[in-house]
Amino acid sequence: MSEREQKDMSGVLFKNDRKEGDKDRDYQGTARVDGKDYWLSAWINTSTAGKKYMSLSLKPKEQRQESAPKQQPAQEQFDDPNDEIPF
């Protein structure tokens, strides 16, 4: 196993140096749970009691799919192929 391979049931977070707004995540990284890879995000918050805590979010990493072929415009579905083209 290489050093960079993610172990199952673990994750890693890095400080988000490109944070653009207050709602952007403070930390970002990856996690592996039951053999599936996820994007991991964390925000530092303060409770009403004044205690700091981290809120976490996991989002499945999905393979990028080839773009689906474009559908023809609806009008073309109703064109009569027997119509004459006036030239």
Per the structure, the complete domain to which residue 30 belongs is given by 1-61
Per-residue confidence (pLDDT) for residue 3, from 0 to 100: 58
* pLDDT tens over the chain, length 87 residues: 445 789 999 999 999 999 999 999 999 999 999 999 999 999 999 999 999 999 999 999 985 545 555 555 555 555 555 656 655
Determine the pLDDT at residue 4: 74
Residue 71 is assigned to a structural domain of this protein: no
pLDDT of residue 21: 95
Number of domains observed in the structure of the chain: 1
What is the predicted pLDDT for the residue at 62? Answer: 87
Q: Confirm if 54 and 44 have CB atoms less than 8 A apart.
A: yes
Answer yes or no: is 14 within a domain.
yes
Q: What is the pLDDT of residue 64?
A: 56
